[in-house]
Every structure is written in structure tokens, then in C-alpha cells.
Amino acid sequence: MRQLKVYRIPLLLVFLAWPSAVLGQSGSLVSELSDLAWAGQVDRAISIIEARRPEFGPPTPEWLAGASWVARGASFAERWDVAEQYSLEAYEGSVALMEGRTLDSDRFLPTALGAAIEVLGNTFVARGERARAVAFLSSSREDFAGTSIEVRIQKNFLLHSLEGKPFPDLEVAGYLVPPPPGSDALEGKVVLFFFWAHWCPDCKRQEPVLEALYEEYSDQGLVIVGPTQFYGFVSRGEPATPAEELAYLRGDYLEQFPIPPWMSVPMGANNFANFGVSTTPTLVLVDRQGIVQRYNPGDLSHEELTALIEPLL
């Protein structure tokens, strides 16, 4: 497994004792630091994590997850030196702990390592080192392929590398509903790819926006494609085989949430991993020449999408 030898700095002090208080930890440190990160209170977060450092002893997964939240908060505030310091601590500590366990065997390690990789990539970009960020994220996906953070890493890789490049091949193993006439004839069209999930409330809120855009711009060459995948469960999280999930989607789900006839819904097992869809919906806008003009994890408003689409038409 690769390590960040070029960017390595020493971890902060490793303390000698393992107080019994650590045994009762249940995520309170992580929760507190995540709240402070979102609130932009970076100095407060630093004060808390450093005040509590002695009680944790050698870095634990929970401690490293907390450090990763300090790093994220610092990146939100564009305090890149602080972001790099704590993300490196979370990265190096997580890799060290993985010598004796798998990443996903612990509840906190994926948070710690996934956020650390994300913040390090953003730090390199902020310093004008995009190529360094892209190379680091690419190698990190290889290092942690098959883990729960692979898709998150790919999302960040694409955020820094996909726009301005040809749209990658989309895997099409079948369709949720029959594709509309000409749905595969995308050449010369402006195409909005809407990666969605049947369990995703934000996706359902995005759909009326897409409906309005189609009505306004389809006659000018806009096509909307809605890739999705199987998740292994149906309504209320009930486990399901792919065949059972497909039957649910084509039955009860479509009765409640009809898919518009103008949107094809290709199914593929690898699309969400390849396109970094750790956030649903994810929107990818492609121009008439097949070049990606916007890669956007998360939803966009009608106004935001209109501003992106109109110049391409």
C-alpha cells in the first residue's frame, strides 16, 4: 500500500497511558468536532482536540476521526496549513492502524481516512498543485479499492480532473424502463446525466427541476439520462436480491414515483463507483462535443442549471 512519503510530517506526541475513560467513548468527540467544523469554529475545535489529546493515549480510530473533522473545518475556512496538519495526522494514523485490521472493520476509520484523503487533495489544489492532487487521489483509489471510501475518493478525483475532458463510457447492462426513442443517439446533444437512487429524497426534489428543464430546452437539443443502480434493499430497507429490487422498482416504486417517458434509466453495476457517486443526486453536464462541462455531487436549482445549460445550446 502506498504511503505519503513525500508529504510526511511527524505525528503529534504519542502519550504513554491509556486511561479507562477512553473505554467509555462513544463518538462524543467526533460529534462535537463535526459540529464545530460545520459552524466554522476552527480555533475552538483545535482547542478541544488538543486539550483532550492526553486522555486518548496512542491514536485511536475515534481520535483520528476527530482530527479529520478539524481538518475539514479548516479546509472550509481555507486555513490550509491547519487542514494539512490534521489531515496528515488522520491519514498516517489510519494507515498505521490498518496494519492490524481492515478499514471497514471499525466505525471511525473510514471517516478518518476518507476525510483525510479528501482534505489533502483539496489542500494541494488550493496551493496550485492540481496535478499533485489528481495523482494522489488516483493512487489512493487504487490503494483503497473495494473499501467503503473508494467511491468518495473517486468523487474527489473527478471533481479535480473530469471537467474539460471527454465523458467516460457509461456502463449499460440494461434499463429500468424501456429507453425512449433515440435515447442512445446522444451525439451532438447537450446531455445532463442525473445519477439517482430510489431511496434518495434529494433526488425526488431534483426531478421537478429536470422536468421543467426538459420542457424548456428539449427542442433545442437537451437530453436527460438518469443512471441508477441496485442497492440491495427495497422499501423500508428490506433486503432484496437484484431480481427482487428490480421487480420493486418496476412495480410499487414506479406506481408511486413515475419515471418520465423522456428519461432513459440505464442500469450498471460499476457506474456509481466509476463516476464517484457517493452523493446522490450527482449531476454531470456534457456539451455537444461530448466534453464534461460540470461535475456536481449534489443537487442544483433550476436557476443554476439554466445558467449552465443555455450557453451550451
Contact (CB, 8 A) for 90 and 112: yes
* Residue in the structure block whose three cell numbers are 438518469: 226
Contact (CB, 8 A) for 88 and 115: no
pLDDT at 178: 78
pLDDT at 235: 87
Give residues with Cβ within 8 angstroms of 220, minimum separation 6: 313
pLDDT at 236: 87
Contact (CB, 8 A) for 154 and 165: no
Every domain range in the chain assigned CATH 3.40.30.10: 174-312
Every domain range in the chain assigned CATH 1.25.40.10: 20-159
- CB-count exposure of residue 130 (10 Å: 0-12, 13-18, 19+): middle
pLDDT at 27: 55
Amino acid at 65: A
Residue 53 pLDDT > 50, yes or no?
yes
Distance CA 100, CA 96 (A): 8
pLDDT band at 181 (very low <50, low <70, confident <90, very high): low
pLDDT tens digits along 69-85: 999 999 999 999 999 99
Domain 174-312 grouped into CATH 3.40.30.10: yes
Residue 296 pLDDT > 60, yes or no?
yes
Task: Give the side-chain half-sphere CA count within 13 A for 240.
Answer: 17
With a pLDDT cut of 70, the percent of the chain lying above it is 89
Q: Strands, E, within the chain: which ranges?
A: 174-175, 190-195, 222-225, 266-267, 282-286, 292-297
C-alpha cell at position 91: 491519514
Residue 5 pLDDT > 50, yes or no?
no
pLDDT at 190: 96
Residue 104 pLDDT > 60, yes or no?
yes
pLDDT at 237: 87
Pairing of strands 222-225, 190-195: parallel
Distance from the Cα of residue 191 to its chain's centroid: 22
Sheet with 222-225, strands from edge to edge, namely 222-225, 190-195, 282-286, 292-297
pLDDT band at 184 (very low <50, low <70, confident <90, very high): low
Contact (CB, 8 A) for 261 and 142: no
Most confident of 16-25, 243-252, 256-265, 300-309: 300-309
Distance CA 246, CA 61 (A): 38
- Top CATH class of 20-159 equals mainly alpha
Task: Report, as an integer, the average pLDDT of 281-310.
Answer: 96
Task: Report, as an integer, the average pLDDT of 168-176.
Answer: 89
User: If you write DSSP's letter for every residue of 132-181 in order, what string do you get?
Assistant: HHHHHHHHHHHHTTTSTTHHHHHHHHHHTTTTTSBPPPPP-SEESSPPPT
